[in-house]
Amino acid sequence: MEGEGVSVEQDRLRKIANLAQTIQAQGAANAARRKYQGASELPQSSAVLELIVRDARRSEELLDELIELAVEEKRSAHRLLSYANNFLQPIFRIPIEIWSYILELITECSDASKWATLMAGIYLPLPQSFASMNLLCRRLREIAIHTPRCWTDVTICVTNNHLTSPTILNEYLQRSGSLLFRLAIYVDKAHVDNPRLHELLAVVQSHIRRCYQIEVRCGREEMQISQISEIIRDYGWVYPALRS
């Protein structure tokens, strides 16, 4: 990806240089034509006027293209400057291994009952503390994404307040890599038969062999827990790593 970025940057700089040369040549030709026309005592014909209009339009097009490329080049330089400035900050001098360890500690120390955070209108199976750390800067987000242990607490919420997205659930399971994970299922009485629950369980199914703990919460309704357990049994899951 870095090589592609350099290639695009070099290509843009070449285009700017070529356009500048073309505009310079076009300007010289226009100047010579105006000098010749000014020295001539003959009236300008319609053909000459059409040529002048064509040249002017071509010059305008070239200048517009040059401006567009220059603006993009300025943005690129600004991004590079911002990256360089950020890289000089103390936070960037901390080794990735230490940040990974910190993120793992935040995950492990979080209250399991609070594993649902509202962000951008979507409930994520993340503790508030871990979600907040991910918002600090792009570097921390990248480190978190590539730290599988941060994604080993998986939550399915099908309640009036929380509704887990199957796409996001699958993404988190993928990020946990080959590590064992804990599965927490929260279902309200009114949502025991919600199709979303089956969608989420289907997502978990391909990863269930890595599940070492399952926690089912349905309030105080024993009948609900019995119903959820029956639904889970219908999937015929095998739990070679299950401990509790």
Residue 169 pLDDT > 80: yes
Domain hosting 19: range is: 2-88
Q: Tokens standing for 146?
A: 């590539």
Average pLDDT over residues 58-69: 76
Quickly state the pLDDT bin for 124 (edges 50, 70, 90).
low
Do residue 17 and residue 61 come from a single domain? yes
Quickly state the pLDDT bin for 2 (edges 50, 70, 90).
very low
C-alpha to C-alpha distance for 102 and 107, rounded to whole angstroms: 9
Please give the model's pTM, rounded to 2 decimal places.
0.55
**Tens digits of per-residue pLDDT, 172-194?**
899 989 999 888 888 877 777 88
Residue 27 pLDDT > 70: no
Do residue 78 and residue 127 come from a single domain? no
Do residue 110 and residue 81 come from a single domain? no
Return the minimum-mean-pLDDT range out of 41-50, 114-123, 206-215. 114-123
Please give the tally of structural domains in the chain: 2
Do residue 108 and residue 228 come from a single domain? yes
Strands (E), the chain: 117-119, 122-124, 153-158, 181-187, 211-217
Do residue 152 and residue 223 come from a single domain? yes
C-alpha to C-alpha distance for 201 and 193, rounded to whole angstroms: 13
